[in-house]
Amino acid sequence: MPDWPAHVLWWHLYPLGFVGAPIRDGVDPEAEPVHRLERLEPWLDHVIELGLNGLLLGPIFASQTHGYDTVDHFRVDPRLGDDADLDRLLAAARERGIRVLLDGVFNHVGRGHPAFQAALAGGDTTLFRGAWVDGRFEPEVFEGHGALVALDHSSDATADLVVDVMCHWLARGIDGWRLDAAYAVPPEFWARVLPRVRERFPEAWFLGEVIHGDGPAIVHASTMDSLTQYELWQGIWHGIADGNFFELSHAIERHDELLATYVPQTFVGNHDVTRIASAVGPEFVPHALAVLFTVGGTPSVYAGDEFGWTAVKEEREGGDDAVRPEFPATPADVADVDERILDAHRALIALRRRHPWLWRARTDVVEVTNATLVLRTAVDAEAVIVALNVGDQPVSLPLADGLTPAAGAGLPLDGRVELGPRGWVVLEA
């Protein structure tokens, strides 16, 4: 794996929603471009101001609805703009030292994809999984979504397509790929594709979206560099919301085991889940962030979470829309900002920057009860200590070798730290 991912903290956004593009109206992917992608550029300085230096983009390729029904992997979605718009964005990011990751939807395509339309008309079907029934090609679809046609990952044609797409955009200046629905793709497919891409672009980084399963085995079989860490996200969410830090403690112990094989991509929010401020309540967002930015991993911030925005994902058509909203023209135009949450992001990202060794550091659970948790993450003599209280009473907790408060509010005294109700603190050794 290249060295640079160890030093990148990502700002994750869903472009179609961010720029206010129409999503659910059966968009014509051959329409004339509308140059909305330029709306991202005024936000790049916000990324830097937060202390982040990576832009993790959701789907930007031509599709008919939400972006995950790709119809042309080689064309920027006309609702976002064109190649020139993307080139300008990449150049603006490079000027600021911001890495860029694109979302590669390589498990399936939209029904409007020309190759699939040709297959329906009796043409070549080698890209797709399916069968001929009564003289008609019936494709397999992704997780029951009839609009998403499954690609055949045993086909050389599919492997060649994915290699060509990846190399095309890496040559244009991106730094790597988020592999959407990687859990649904046989690991052997990635093992056929990624080495071919790395031959041309050895500095590329590949992050797989994996929701569950044996992470180390998947990484070993697929050759992917990293996987999304949903188990830790759930542990943080439920540990805080349910007042059950034993669940979070268990998730952290399992997370530590993964670090022996690979460094997971960690998060408390993304485009597919309820926002963290809605999941745990705005008061407890800093508690979640304290864990995110002090345990090993490659952290990301989902755009809007830093402002304390709320939104609930619903299991229905359009149920993701609330967590994928349009953003104002510039950061200065954001009206609804929870300054406490924004300050916590800045302080904890700065802490992470001061201690780059946290990327692959192991975490010990010093003390845990339902309502309190003390964590110590360390490498050699360097250590960061997190003390959390989600209860309604003040508590006294062991601070291990924590000496200097770096974020939050807690009074260290005689080897312990006093936290108020629902308090939190991060200390440096």
Distance of CA 39 to the CA centre of its chain: 21
pLDDT at res. 317: 84
pLDDT at res. 402: 81
pLDDT at res. 75: 97
The answer to whether 386 and 302 have CB atoms below 8 angstroms apart is: no
Find tokens 């988020």 and name the residue: 178
Q: Which of 93, 56, 108, 23 is nearest to 298 (CA)?
A: 56
pLDDT at res. 184: 97
pLDDT at res. 122: 92
Torsion angle in degrees (nearest 10) through CA of 92, 103, 36, 84 = 50
Q: What's the CATH number for 4-361?
A: 3.20.20.80
The answer to whether 74 and 168 have CB atoms below 8 angstroms apart is: yes
pLDDT at res. 400: 87
Which residue positions in the chain have pLDDT lower than 50?
none
Find tokens 């490079």 and name the residue: 94
pLDDT at res. 413: 87
> What is the number of other CB atoms lying within 10 angstroms of the CB of residue 414?
7
Strands (E), 201-297: 205-208, 226-227, 265-266
The tokens for 155 are 């086909």
The tokens for 389 are 């209280």
pTM over 0.85, yes/no: yes
The answer to whether 264 and 258 have CB atoms below 8 angstroms apart is: yes
pLDDT at res. 394: 96
Please compute, for residue 315, the number of CA atoms within 13 A of its CA located in the half-sphere on the CB side. Answer: 0
pLDDT digits (tens, 9 = 90+) for 75-111: 999 999 999 999 999 999 999 999 999 999 999 999 9
Helices within 35-132 (DSSP H only): 44-50, 83-95, 114-120
pLDDT at res. 135: 87
The answer to whether 289 and 348 have CB atoms below 8 angstroms apart is: yes
